[in-house]
Amino acid sequence: MSREFILDHRKFPNLKHRKIGASQFWGGDKNGPCVAVSLTHQNEGDRCCSMNFKQWFGLTRKEAKELGNFLLEFGNGKEAEGF
Averaged over successive runs of 10 residues, the pLDDT of the chain (83 residues) comes to 74 74 91 90 58 82 93 85 64
What total of structural domains would you count in the chain?
A: 1
In a domain, 48, yes or no: yes
User: How many Cα atoms within 13 Å fall on the side-chain side of residue 11?
Assistant: 5
In a domain, 80, yes or no: no
In a domain, 82, yes or no: no
pLDDT at 42: 66
pLDDT at 12: 76
pLDDT at 29: 95
In a domain, 61, yes or no: yes
In a domain, 83, yes or no: no
Q: Which domain holds residue 46?
A: 3-75
Q: How far apart are CA 36 and CA 18, in angstroms?
A: 16
Q: Against a cut of 0.85, is the pTM above it?
A: no
Q: Looking at 42-79, which runs of residues are DSSP E strands?
A: 53-60
SS3 of residue 80 by DSSP = coil
